[in-house]
Amino acid sequence: MFIEPNFKGERRGWIEVICGSMFSGKTEELIRRLKRVEIANLKAEIFKPSIDKRFDEQKIVSHDANKIQSTPIDNSQTILLLAQNVDVVGIDEAQFFDDQITVVCEKLALKGMRVIVAGLDMDYQGRPFGQMPNLLAIADYITKLHAICVVCGNIANVSYRKVKTGGQVLLGEKDIYEPRCRVCAALKS
């Protein structure tokens, strides 16, 4: 889908994607970047999917308990309605959003906004997760983070699910998931 750009001497926007497995520091990095936006006195709007209530209903919270205020939303189109006259848009857990999230991010960038998106690039089976592959394809900047494998200590890129129930989406923490490398994820536990 082609979106007509508006370049009437306005600032140019871009899309940054932070991806990796669970426990790799994606949300921590998103919060770090958004706090720098606050220090620069830029106006930002921050969003997360309303289904993610693990730590807080309103805030984005990292595993290290760092947090920043956000707006929980049910669909990505809502971002276009709420992100008016801002410099930066932050989006956490992008893999949980609908198939329009890529179009929404593209529209925001074409309006001159910096868009910072964080999410899991792979599900627990090591398959591309949600719209993350499409976001990675259109991103101007990509940061891939890694956790440490709890089995062997090498870098981990898999969010290994320790329970055998649930579909692709099963919200949880260390009780359900652990970071593993590709080799250790293939091992039966």
Query: Exposed e or buried b for every residue in 146-157, given b needs 16+ CB within 10 A?
Result: bbebebeeebbb
Domain residue extents for the chain? 14-146
Residue corresponding to tokens 């964080």: 118
CATH number of the 14-146 domain = 3.40.50.300
At residue 64, does pLDDT exceed 80?
no
pLDDT band at 161 (very low <50, low <70, confident <90, very high): confident
Cβ density class 99-128: b for 16+ within 10 Å, e for less:
eebbbbbbbbbbbebbbbbbbbbbbbeeee
Lowest mean pLDDT among 53-57, 72-76, 121-125, 174-178: 53-57
What average pLDDT does the chain have? Answer: 86
CA-nearest of 3, 16, 4, 2 to 143 is 16
Taking only the tens place, the pLDDT of each residue in 76-90 is: 999 999 999 999 999
Tell me what pLDDT residue 189 has: 55
Q: What are the φ and ψ backbone dihedral angles of 122, each rounded to 5 degrees?
A: -130, 150
Band (176; pLDDT cuts 50, 70, 90): confident
Phi, psi of 7 (to 5 degrees): -110, 35
pLDDT given for residue 6 in this prediction: 55
**pLDDT digit string, tens, across residues 107-122:** 999 999 999 999 999 9
Q: Considering the entire predicted model, what is its pTM?
A: 0.85
Minimum mean pLDDT range among 34-43, 100-109, 166-175: 166-175
Q: Catalytic site residues?
A: 93
Amino acid at 140: D
* Residue 12 confidence (pLDDT): 87
CB-CB neighbours of 40 under 10 Å: 10
**pLDDT tens digits along 4-49:** 555 555 678 999 999 999 999 999 999 999 999 999 999 999 999 8
Res 128: pLDDT: 94
Strand 114-120 and strand 155-156: the pairing is: unpaired
Q: Identity (one letter) of the amino acid at 146?
A: H
* Residue 108 backbone phi and psi in degrees, to 5: -65, -45
- pLDDT class of 51 with cuts at 50, 70, 90: confident
State yes or no: pLDDT of 61 exceeds 80. no
What are the strands, taking DSSP E only, across the chain?
14-20, 44-49, 59-61, 67-69, 71-73, 88-91, 114-120, 141-145, 147-148, 155-156, 158-161, 177-180
Q: Report how far apart, in Å, the C-alpha atoms of 130 and of each of 39, 68, 123, 135 are.
A: 32, 24, 9, 10
